[in-house]
Amino acid sequence: MRVFVTGATGFIGSAVVQELMQAGHQVLGLTRSEAGAQSLTAAGAQVHPGHLEDLESLRSGAAAADAVIHTAFIHDFSKFQENCEIDWRAIQALGDALAGSDRLLMVSSGTGIGSGQGRLRTEDDPPVSSKVFPRAATEEAAESVASRRVRVAIMRLPQVHDTEKQGLVTYAVQMARQKGVSAFIGEGLNHWAAAHRFDTARLYRLALEKGEGGVRYHAVAEEGVPTRDIAEAIGRGLRVPVVSMAPEDAAAHFGWLAAFVGLDIPASSAQTRERLGWNPAGPGLLSDLENMRYT
């Protein structure tokens, strides 16, 4: 199968490209840089120049493929709403090229966009409105595209990690390094779901090969890692104190990350595992935090 991958040189996308190539698929990878083009070529993929705001490059890439995996997202959280709107337009453009063809479009969302704090989120949970949480625009765009006879699958991601990056946890590491303390909110009993980068890439491939539309998948290996455990692992790695932060002090300490760090967002992947036979092999988030290089 010839697959157009956006974000093909990114943290998750590059692992997806590797997984697809090893399984015998052809990859057309979107990149905006010469360095990205070189890495794709070295991996054996074809290069498609463009970026998320170049909608014509998205349309032409999708038109040239049997299926599309959309992993790209602009991770500048100072412009979070704007970047969610960019993602909405990008998905609509991909849908333009696939409309009426019944080809698969897989978009990447998050396990945290369902409603309700502390409840184990499942694949059945609908997203909140993008007016409540901007990232939900991704699934709103996916629903719009599906109405145009496109097979759409949604891949909801938790904190995807290895020993180099760990989703939002990466920013918590940066904050702890900057502030000289590793903090959690209250008792630190709120949870974040997690999955290893290569387990996640394998799930994208399995979902592609299944080819089913109208489904949500949860790329969850660990249903909920307590944020206190995360903060303690960071503290050990950086050799800084670990402290509890009152909720009212979170904004001053964490900045934009305060909107996320206190969330209790465990998630299940039971349906995904049964549907696709996915068995994540780890390592876990805390293991990767213990084994990463902090200097």
pLDDT confidence of 107, banded at 50, 70, 90? very high
Same-domain check for residues 203 and 272? no
Position 116 pLDDT exceeds 70: no
154-168 per-position pLDDT tens digit: 999 999 999 999 999
Residues 224 and 266: beta-carbon distance below 8 Å: yes
**What is the average per-residue pLDDT within 62-66?**
98
Tell me what the mean pLDDT of segment 275-292 comes to: 97
pLDDT tens sequence across 122-134: 999 999 999 988 9
Predicted pLDDT of residue 227:
98
| pLDDT at residue 114 tops 90 | no
What pLDDT, on the 0 to 100 scale, is given for residue 120? 94
CATH code, domain with 77: 3.40.50.720
For the entire predicted model, the pTM comes to 0.96
Q: Are residues 35 and 47 in the same domain?
A: yes
Mean pLDDT across the chain:
96
Provide the residue range defining the domain that includes 183.
Answer: 162-192+223-291
Is the pLDDT score of 117 beyond 80?
A: no
For 69-79, write each residue's pLDDT tens digit: 999 999 888 89
Give yes or no for a contact between 254 and 193, defined as CB atoms under 8 angstroms apart. Answer: no
Q: Which of 197-201, 258-262, 272-276 has the lowest mean pLDDT?
A: 258-262
Residues 105 and 177 in one domain: no
Residue where a domain stops, chosen among 175, 206, 221: 221
Do 55 and 126 share a domain, yes or no?
yes
Segment 172-188 mean pLDDT = 97
Return d(Cα 241, Cα 179) in angstroms, integer: 10
* Number of domains the chain is built from: 2
DSSP for the chain, written as a single string: -EEEEETTTSHHHHHHHHHHHHTT-EEEEEESSHHHHHHHHHHTPEEEE--TT-HHHHHHHHHTSSEEEE------GGGHHHHHHHHHHHHHHHHHHHTTTT-EEEEEEEGGGBS-SSS-B-TTPPBPPTTT-GGGHHHHHHHHHHTTT-EEEEEEE-EEE-SS-BTHHHHHHHHHHHHSSEEEETT---EEEEEEHHHHHHHHHHHHHH---SEEEE--SEEEEEHHHHHHHHHHHHT--EEEE-GGGHHHHHGGGHHHHT--B-B--HHHHHHH--------HHHHHHHS---
